[in-house]
Structure 1
Amino acid sequence: MRELVLISGASTGMGAAAARELAGRGYHVLAGVRRESDGDAIRADNLEPVLLDITDSGQIDAVAERIAGDPAGRPLRAVINNAGIAINAPVEVLSMEEWRRQFDVNFFGHVAVTKAVLPFLHASGGRVVNMSSIGGRIAMPTYGAYAGAKFAMEAMSDSLRRELAPHGVQVVVVEPGGVRTEMTGHGVERAEEVLVAMDPANRARYGGLLRAIINQANAFTTSGLPAEKAALVIAEAATARRPRKRYTIGRDAALLVRLSRLASDRVLDRVLAANLRPHFPVEAR
């Protein structure tokens, strides 16, 4: 158990819960945070905060140097690529700057971290755990940028798994559904800002839809799984002797994954529309 685990996006939510769970199991967790104050809040036995903005190559290099120079000579058991942001907006409305930002954080940053730590995983026979989403299987309206990055994460994970399997490094994907995390709340705040900033024409087209998405996200916040339950699945994905290739978190994620495999696009469109309809403002239904 004297091994290292690196996890990004560990300030709050599933990342923080997974860091605590793994530290409690005896791993020495390098918990990536973006601010010193966030690190002070989660520091504990076996839980060492490290500054890790995954879009900052200098911080990625510094974390790689920390692993290479570990004073106890501990190997890296796993990297858990968890950091992420969510900004809900229709494709027509979301700015190109925000499109690029979501891909930088939700995809390209994880590729950069993975490339930086793969030499350590080759040496240890370790594991890459990529946090995807049910949005990596099904793209709901206003989730174009977020789901696009998650679809890319799924594809990269498949390719990477097949590349690394002959060399003893495993790649596992985790697909959460509704989980109560701060990211959901931040996403709602950003969606509210998008709604306010819409011009009249776009508000007429998409205002009711975006309001429904916000209401649905708020419902997830109250009914979703607690982050601590999700952390048990993440820890299993990172440490199981014979892990599955993919794990889902929550009954909603498991159901939607099955539905995506079996239903036609026409049927899936109808199911998603029916699921969203109760969240529309009355005047927009």
Structure 2
Amino acid sequence: MTVSSENELVVITGASTGIGAATAREMAQRGFHVLAGVRRDRDADAIRAANVEPLILDITNSDQIRALASRVSEDPQRRPLRALVNNAAVQANVPIEVFGIEQWRDMFEVNLFGHVAVIQALLPTLIESGGRVVNISSVGGKIAMATYGPYAGTKFALEAMSDSLRREVAPHGVQVVVIEPGAVRTEMLGRAIANAHELLAAMTPEQRHRYGGLVHAVNAQAEASTKSGLPAEAAAAVIAKAITARKPRTRYTVGREAALLPVTRLLPDRLLDRIFAAALRPHLPKENARLDSAPTRR
């Protein structure tokens, strides 16, 4: 069974492209009025459509978050807030040693603290409407492969925050759902690869010697898996289910890789290290083909 979509609001952050944009279109087609958070005017123009109202929203900007909360609470049609979908994210696959501490802080600002700020701003309205919070995590919220440390760190934290929030607000009628996508074809991968190349160019010669082959292999592997991954619309359909199911699950996975997550929890860490290293081996430059001799971080 699903909840009614008549005269209800859905807020989606990070709706410029990819999963966020696809979810905005999906929910609009189902009759919800979507407040789609984007960062640029041209993105707003691109996504504006029937039942899709773009809002300029940088989730690290407190003034824009307050403006979003006011738009929701002062809705001219007094529509209840059905769901907040926290989708905004940034990614860079880079070794921990070479990712500057300020870059770590910036990634946590977007991938965790910004979501917390939006939740805090909209939670009173969600409690009033009996709505729900849908947090978009990742396979990286359960498994931290080599060079995924910063990104996975934010997603592990998002998963933990979601669990705690779910237990806090359930007595008040608010449901919290986590979505864990695997390989999905979105623009974020291209940005992550570009970021990795910039960081690689900024490494010292010693760091490039240590990590150059690894970064190349990880990016090649990610690009190959994403080409065969699901379209963003497939993820949007799962998110729509999480929003509309009368009794949603606490977690939904998207794609084959994510569906295998329970299996990985049964394996010893050292075995996972070897599995991940072996999976990277075909993508290594020839001069780095001995990567499997080094353990993969977890």
How many angstroms apart in 1 are the aligned matches of 2:142 and 2:133? 19
How many angstroms apart in 2 are the aligned matches of 1:220 and 1:15? 20
> Is there any run of 5+ residues in structure 2 with no aligned partner, and where?
290-298
2:273 to 269, 272, 281: 269
1:260 to 264, 269, 273: 264
Note the C-alpha offset of 1:39. 0.5
How many angstroms apart in 2 are the aligned matches of 1:220 and 1:267? 22
Note the C-alpha offset of 1:198. 1.1
1:42 to 44, 47, 56: 47
How many angstroms apart in 1 are the aligned matches of 2:259 and 2:209? 35
Spell out the pairing of 1:122-161 with structure 2 (5 A cutoff): 122-161=127-166
Q: C-alpha deviations, 1:156-200, integer Å up to 9, x for none?
A: 000000011111100000000100000011001111111111110
Corresponding residue number in structure 2 for 1:87: 92
Corresponding residue number in structure 2 for 1:228: 233
Does residue 214 of the first structure (1) align with residue 214 of the second (2)? no
How many angstroms apart in 1 are the aligned matches of 2:120 and 2:263? 33
Q: How does the TM-score come out when normalised to structure 1? A: 0.98
Corresponding residue number in structure 2 for 1:55: 60
How many angstroms apart in 2 are the aligned matches of 1:249 and 1:222? 15
Whichever residue aligns with residue 139 of structure 1, its letter is A
Corresponding residue number in structure 2 for 1:205: 210
Which stretch has the larger CA shift, 260-269 or 144-153? 260-269
Note the C-alpha offset of 1:274. 1.4
Does residue 283 of the first structure (1) align with residue 287 of the second (2)? yes
Q: C-alpha deviations, 1:96-150, integer Å up to 9, x for none?
A: 1110111000000000000100011000110000000000000011111100000
Note the C-alpha offset of 1:282. 1.9
Q: How does the TM-score come out when normalised to structure 2? A: 0.94
Whichever residue aligns with residue 61 of structure 1, its letter is R
Q: Is the 8 A contact 1:99 1:145 kept in 2?
A: yes
How many angstroms apart in 1 are the aligned matches of 2:200 and 2:184? 24
Q: Is the 8 A contact 1:180 1:220 kept in 2?
A: no
**Counterpart of 2:11 in 1: which secondary structure?**
strand
How many angstroms apart in 1 are the aligned matches of 2:235 and 2:64? 27
Identity of aligned residues (%): 64
> Is there any run of 5+ residues in structure 1 with no aligned partner, and where?
none
User: CA RMSD of the aligned region, Å?
Assistant: 0.8
Corresponding residue number in structure 1 for 2:72: 67
Whichever residue aligns with residue 244 of structure 1, its letter is R
How many angstroms apart in 1 are the aligned matches of 2:243 and 2:190? 27
How many angstroms apart in 2 are the aligned matches of 1:233 and 1:146? 22
Whichever residue aligns with residue 258 of structure 1, its letter is P
Note the C-alpha offset of 1:86. 0.3
Q: C-alpha deviations, 1:240-262, integer Å up to 9, x for none?
A: 1111110000011111x122321
